[in-house]
């Protein structure tokens, strides 16, 4: 082993260790930042290790790519608002998958269109472009839906599932064929095309409320594609980093689907809410109690325990700062304010925590569902801001409801529930929410941000 | 080739285990930073892209390599910056609340 190879291998080992330490640091919030800086250092070490390699003979395209990537990546890191985090993450899965897929395609092409590709290498290249290609288009679709370029409701057509599964099956069959006969460029490129199409048809029928599962799953695929790249070019640090990413995305998607009481298959092929059946129980004959900001403010001003339940509506209205302001006033009056975060609140795992942390809410006040559910019965006011399905009691007691069995926040146990909502339109799943008609529920209609500002003024005045 | 592939498989499986046991302990509080962090880390495919862009294996591979380097660099630069931006925001309440962070860890 020449000193240079030794240096490169040492750099890769160091990078792998730093990546693992970085992820480990995320188990403790106070150490997380430092740990991720170590991981970034690991990345730098790996890059330096690579550019001194003998394989690299010219640098102009490398420098051009690094420069262009920095120019695009820097603003994506610095200026993207926290409310746009789901689409920001979705598009970054696409970039990761583009890199992995192109390396795979170029590798195949450069090895005489597969002439020099061994069976094992073909397996690695095949998985790499299969996962990579479907992640490229799938992530792009997810991004478009979250960004509002495409409608976020499920887009379905007749026989969609058959078409989707057919395309995927065909792509896998082509991969199997390539294993026996690697030098078959037509099959290879057809496989790439099929998985690109499959990515589109996979995400198209998935609604906005299911995005946390989809983003997590795409995260996992992007990781597996990176890992497969490592197998294809014989590089362990890629295998390790990709496996970490793959495991992470996989775990998150399990947590997310469990929080919705649904299986992967159901999320992917169930087209949740595609037929917004007027649900089991219709709202007819039930009355809604509207409340004025003045009355709501009085309740909040004298409450001892207030539990805030944020949902996607808070993110859309960008109302997190007003929430914090209101909480500060309640706390000044001697009350306690806690935040109940449902695992699938928002459009990606942990979205609400980031928004509230941005508004300077201390993280020890952000409570997970299991931690806070028993507290609701002690709460004087539960303040629901733009959350719907995660507080719908139908999940507990209506067997015919599509969300039956989903673990929910026990908001209805609070002495008083105040729901901030734009109008009486049903939520994403198109399901009527009994909570809104409850005896102890009062509805404060209007834009969440405007309503909260009014509440802040009123509480200040009282 | 065969022995190397087997070794690589070992590495993959073991890394997957390490990932599994580490990540199940990340509290839900940090799931968004976790996702952006793993995304930035898996942009290590930059390593493969760099070799492709610089190995001079013909115009098409070089072009694809250039695009791959660009994409991966976007994730490296943007990913680590945005993760840091998020983690910087997570602060504890002013008064001391011992073991407050403990409660959320453990059960993934």
Residue-wise DSSP of chain B: -HHHHHHHHHHHHHHHHHHHHHHTTS-GGGHHHHHHHHHHHHGGGHHHHHHHHHS---HHHHHHHHHHHHHHHHHHHHHHHHHHHHHHH----SS--TTTTGGGSS--
Q: B21 lies in a domain?
A: yes
Q: Which of A206, A224, A201, A65 is nearest to A137 (CA)?
A: A201
Length of chain B, please?
A: 108
What is the layout of strands, in order, in the sheet containing A381-385?
A: A366-368, A336-341, A305-310, A381-385, A416-421, A441-445
Highest mean pLDDT of the ranges A115-119, A312-316, A365-369: A365-369
Which residues of A are identified as catalytic?
A: 389
Residue B78 within a domain? yes
Contacting residues for A194 by C-beta, under 8 A, at least 6 apart: A167, A168, A170, A171, A174
Q: Do B73 and A70 touch (CB under 8 A)?
A: yes
Tell me the C-alpha distance between A108 and A122, whole Å: 8
In this complex, the residue of B22, B25, B30 whose CB is nearest that of residue A32 is B30
Tell me the pLDDT band of A159, cut-offs 50, 70 and 90. confident
Q: Do A350 and B30 touch (CB under 8 A)?
A: yes
Q: What interface predicted TM-score (ipTM) does this complex get?
A: 0.89
Look at residue B50 and tell me if it is in a domain. yes
CA-based nearest residue in chain B for residue A50: B47
The per-residue pLDDT of chain A, averaged, comes to: 89
Alpha carbon distance A79, A405 (integer Å) = 39
Residue B23 lies in a domain: yes
Average pLDDT of span A50-67: 92
pLDDT at B24 over 70: yes
Write out chain A residues lying below 8 Å of B55, CB-based.
55-57
Domains in chain B, number: 1
Give pLDDT tens digits for B59-102: 999 999 999 999 999 999 999 999 999 999 999 886 544 444 44
Q: Judge whether B27 lies within some domain.
A: yes
Kindly state the tokens that stand for A337. Answer: 């304010």
Record: contact A27-B25, CB cut-off 8 A: yes
Element (H, E) at A441: strand A441-445
pTM: 0.89
pLDDT band at A280 (very low <50, low <70, confident <90, very high): very low
**B59 assigned to some structural domain:** yes
- Residue B7: give the domain boundaries: 2-90
In a domain, B108, yes or no: no
Considering only the beta carbons, identify the residue of B28, B89, B97 that sits closest to A343.
Answer: B28
- B86: chain A residues, CB-CB within 8 Å: 82, 85, 354, 357
In a domain, B99, yes or no: no
Q: What pLDDT does A405 receive? A: 86
As a whole number of angstroms, the distance between CA A67 and CA B66 comes to 11
% of chain A exceeding 90 in pLDDT: 67
Check CB contact under 8 Å for A237 and B47.
Answer: yes
Find chain B residues with C-beta within 8 A of A43's C-beta.
Answer: 40-41, 43-44, 46, 76, 80
Provide the sign of the torsion angle of the four alpha carbons A250, A256, A258, A264, taken in this order: negative
DSSP conformation letters of A110-136: HTGGGTT--HHHHHHHHHHHHHHHHHH
Look at residue A425 in the predicted model and tell me its pLDDT: 64
**Three-class SS state of A444:** strand
| Residue in B9, B1, B41 with CA at minimum distance from that of residue B22 | B41
Q: In this complex, do B12 and A226 lie within 8 Å of one another by their Cβ atoms?
A: no
């Amino acid at each position: 082993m020449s000193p240079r190879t030794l240096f490169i291998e040492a750099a890769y080992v160091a990078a792998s260790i730093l990546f693992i330490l970085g992820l480990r640091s995320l188990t403790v919030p106070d150490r997380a930042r430092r740990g991720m800086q170590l991981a970034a250092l690991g990345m730098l070490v790996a890059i330096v290790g690579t550019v001194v390699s003998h394989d690299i003979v010219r640098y102009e395209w490398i420098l051009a790519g690094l420069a262009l990537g920095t120019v695009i990546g820097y603003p994506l890191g610095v200026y993207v608002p926290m409310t746009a985090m789901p689409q920001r993450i979705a598009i970054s899965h696409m970039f990761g998958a583009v890199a992995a897929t192109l390396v795979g395609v170029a590798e195949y092409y450069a090895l005489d269109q597969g002439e020099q590709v061994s069976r094992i290498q073909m397996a690695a290249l095949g998985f790499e472009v299969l996962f990579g290609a479907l992640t490229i288009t799938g992530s792009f679709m997810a991004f478009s839906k979250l960004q509002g370029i495409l409608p976020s409701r499920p887009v379905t057509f007749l026989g969609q599932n058959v078409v989707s599964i057919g395309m995927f099956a065909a792509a896998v069959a082509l991969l199997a064929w390539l294993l026996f006969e690697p030098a078959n460029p037509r099959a290879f490129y057809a496989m790439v095309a099929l998985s690109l199409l499959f990515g589109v048809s996979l995400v198209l029928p998935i609604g906005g409320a299911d995005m946390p599962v989809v983003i997590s799953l795409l995260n996992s695929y992007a990781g597996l594609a990176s890992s497969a790249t490592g197998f294809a070019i014989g590089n362990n640090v890629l295998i390790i980093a990709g496996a970490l990413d793959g495991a992470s995305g996989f775990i998150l998607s399990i947590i997310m689907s469990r929080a919705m009481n649904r299986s992967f298959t159901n999320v992917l092929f169930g087209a949740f809410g595609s037929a917004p059946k007027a649900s089991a129980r219709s709202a007819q004959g039930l009355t809604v109690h509207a409340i004025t900001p003045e009355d709501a403010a009085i309740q909040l001003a004298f409450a001892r325990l207030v539990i805030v339940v944020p949902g996607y509506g808070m993110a859309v209205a960008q109302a997190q700062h007003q929430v914090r302001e209101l909480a500060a006033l309640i706390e000044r009056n001697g009350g306690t304010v806690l935040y109940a975060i449902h695992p699938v609140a928002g459009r990606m795992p942990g979205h609400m925590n980031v928004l509230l942390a941005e508004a300077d809410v201390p993280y020890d006040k952000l409570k997970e569902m299991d931690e806070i559910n028993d507290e609701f019965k002690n709460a004087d006011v539960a303040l629901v801001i733009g959350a719907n399905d995660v507080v719908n009691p139908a999940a507990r007691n209506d067997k015919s409801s599509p969300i039956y069995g989903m673990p929910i926040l026990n908001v209805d146990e609070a002495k008083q529930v105040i729901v901030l909502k734009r109008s009486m339109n049903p939520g994403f799943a198109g399901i009527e929410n009994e909570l809104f008609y409850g005896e102890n529920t009062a509805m404060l209609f209007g834009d969440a941000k405007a309503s909260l500002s009014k509440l802040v003024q009123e509480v200040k005045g009282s | 080739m065969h022995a190397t592939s087997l070794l690589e498989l070992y590495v993959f499986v073991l890394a997957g285990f390490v990932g599994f046991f580490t990540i199940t302990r990340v509290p839900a509080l940090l799931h968004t930073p976790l996702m952006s962090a793993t995304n930035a880390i898996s942009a290590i495919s930059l390593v493969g892209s760099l070799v492709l862009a610089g190995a001079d294996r013909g115009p098409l591979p070089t072009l694809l390599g250039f695009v791959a380097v660009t994409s991966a660099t976007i994730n490296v630069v943007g990913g680590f910056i945005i993760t840091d931006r998020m983690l910087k925001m997570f602060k504890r309440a002013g008064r001391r609340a011992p073991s407050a962070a403990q409660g959320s860890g453990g059960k993934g």
